[in-house]
Every structure is written in C-alpha cells, then in structure tokens.
Amino acid sequence: MKTLLDQLDEGILIIDKSLNIRYANEFSKKYLEEPEGKTISDALHVKNISVLTENLVSSTSSEFESEFFVNNERKIFKIKVNSPIIIFRDITEIRNLGEAKMDFVNSLVHEFSSPMTVMNGYLDLLIDRKDVPEKYNDILKRVHKSTRRLSKLVEELATLSNLELQNYKPIMENINLRSLVIEIIEELENKSKRKNIEIEVSIPADFYIKTDSLLLYRILSNLISNAIKYSFDNEVVHVKIKRKEDKTNIIVKDFGIGVKPEELNRIFERFYRASNAKFFKTSGMGLGLALVKHAVSLLNAKIEVNSSYMLGTEFILTI
C-alpha cells in the first residue's frame, strides 16, 4: 500500500487522534519538510487550517482551495479532508493558466470593444441618412448586422470567461419569473416572427423565485433563443414550470431538429455545435450552452436535457 501511495501525484496525509501526521507519501514530502510526527498546523501552513482541523476533529468531510508557500513560492492546493485522511493536489499551473486566459480575454474584449462601438455608431448614422443610395444602404445594413454579431460574440466571450473563473458573485433576490420570461420573449420577437414561432408561457403571473436575476436571464435567454433557432417554421415553443416541495423546474421545450443521442453529452462544451445544426446551416459559435452551464453552476442549480433527433429538445432547469 505504501508503494502504491508513493506513486500518486497527490499528497496523502494520515492524521492520528492528536492531530499529528502519522504518515505522508512521497508527493507530500516534496512540499512539506519532514512532515511525519509534526502536528498538522506545524506542517501544513494553509489559510484554512482552522477549518481543516475542525473537520478532522468532528470527522466531517470538506473540500476547498487554499494558498501555500514553498520556499517563498506561492502554490495553490486543492485540499480534501475525510478524517483521518487529508488529500491535497497542486493546482497552481491550472490556476495560472486560468488567470492568463482571463487576462487574454479581457485584453481581447478591450481591444475589440472600442473600435466595434465606433464602427456601429458610424454605421447607424450612415443608415439613417436619407441621401445614401439604396444599393449602398443595403450593403451598410449587412455590414451593420455583421459588426453587431461580432460585438455580441466578444461580449459572450467576456461573460463566459468570468463565469468559468467564478469571478461573478450571485446576488439572490425575489424576482417575478413570468415577467422575466416575457421580457426575454419580447427581445426575441423579431427572431420568432421570422419563423412564425409561437411561444406559449405557462407560468402564473404572481410566481416569484429567489435567485440571481442576471444569471437566470442569461440561462433562459439562451435556452429560449436556441428553441426558436432550432425549431421548424410554424411550430410552438413551450416555457412552463413544475413545482415540487422547495424546488422549481423551469422547462423550455421545442419541436425542432433535436440532437443525436451520441452528441447529447457534448452540447454544453464551448464551441461545440451538433452535426445537424451545421447541416441545417443555423448560425452560431457554440458559446450559448457553455455559458448556460457555468451560470447554472454559480446558481447551485441543475440542468437536464432530453432530446429526440428531428423531433425536438427539452431543457429542465431545477432551482
């Protein structure tokens, strides 16, 4: 067993009743100087040491991240406590990569946002002018549509990166669910009218739910927008709720192209688009459901999807 534990890329510490380290594997010894025999607080200098010791004493499990310094070098550990065992993993490189990614995206958003705003502003002015020939006006509208789409892509990249790194802190408040859904539907009205899609809302007018309004708006806006996008013309999209004890299921159901069973587990991946979506030439970058996934995680909610190829898709958000 000792030989096996020494091969792991995780630190394993076994703690006795006096909170002394009885055993440390080889990975642990890379970070902790001669840990065996020392108290856990003397060996493992992490910020959440009080939480860790409380879990050991009360025999409760926990998992958290904490900073640790080795020879004045900052490390970030992911620590799991399951008395009398402590398991820790060095996730410094993962965190540094995440921070670098965030810096890159923020720079990208900053560099793109200003010129895109200027371009859209000038295009608005040109489109509104009466002396622009009709043939040029049509070109300007197409360019304007493309720049607005690019602006939205940049905005979604920024939002997704913030949600992935959990930089957004949810603000829980009571919101009127029906009003929120109606607001989303009104914003998507042009999209639904082009395909003659009817959206049926089965939510009581006085139904309130405690959640973060911005995150829920992002989730439902993407789900309803996708339902319209992937529906056949002249179809119906249903938005309804089911209540069970302290949980609310918000259901968005369409009767569109659906997803093949073998592709269903990938639809929440960033930039992934199902094969039939490409075949039907629907536009999109595959960011919407990735954003939904991270927003759901921040709400501590749950999302399920049921789909039948060419028959439709149902998303169930449980809060």
pLDDT per position as a tens digit, 122-151: 888 888 888 888 888 888 888 888 887 788
Q: Which band of pLDDT confidence, cut at 50, 70 and 90, is reported for residue 154?
A: confident
> Backbone phi, then psi, for 79, in 5-degree steps?
-115, 130
**Which residue matches tokens 């075949």?**
279
What is the percentage of the chain residues whose pLDDT exceeds 90?
A: 40
pLDDT of residue 94: 83
SS (H, E, C) 22-37: EEECHHHHHHCCCCCC
Q: Where are the alpha helices (DSSP H) in the chain?
A: 2-6, 26-31, 40-43, 49-58, 92-128, 134-164, 177-187, 189-194, 213-229, 275-279, 288-298
Distance of CA 263 to the CA centre of its chain: 19
pLDDT of residue 36: 92
Is the pLDDT confidence value at 110 over 90?
no
The Cα–Cα gap between 5 and 24 comes to 9
Residues 6+ apart with CB under 8 A from 43: 13, 21, 32, 33, 35
Three-state DSSP at 293 gives helix
Q: Which band of pLDDT confidence, cut at 50, 70 and 90, is reported for residue 166?
A: low
Q: Is residue 62 a contact partner of residue 51, using CB atoms and an 8 Å limit?
A: yes
For the chain, give the number of residues.
319
pLDDT of residue 312: 94
Output the six-digit token pair for 141: 């509208």
Position 59, amino acid: S
Position 25, amino acid: N
Higher pLDDT, 93 or 252: 252
Q: Is residue 298 a contact partner of residue 160, using CB atoms and an 8 Å limit?
A: no
Distance of CA 77 to the CA centre of its chain: 23
Output the six-digit token pair for 206: 């006085």
Higher pLDDT, 149 or 53: 53
Of 232, 272, 250, residue with least CA distance to 317: 250
Average pLDDT (60-88) is: 86
Is the pLDDT confidence value at 285 over 70?
no
20 secondary structure, DSSP code: B
Q: What is the mean pLDDT of the chain?
A: 87
**Which residue matches tokens 């990249």?**
157
- What is the dihedral angle through the alpha carbons of 124, 291, 315, 257, rounded to the nearest 10 degrees? 60
The Cα–Cα gap between 289 and 32 comes to 42
Is the pLDDT confidence value at 155 over 80?
no
Each residue of 19-33: pLDDT tens digit?
999 999 999 998 888
Q: Is the pTM above the cut of 0.85?
A: no
Q: Is residue 106 a contact partner of residue 112, using CB atoms and an 8 Å limit?
A: no
Average pLDDT (175-203) is: 94
The Cα–Cα gap between 178 and 201 comes to 8
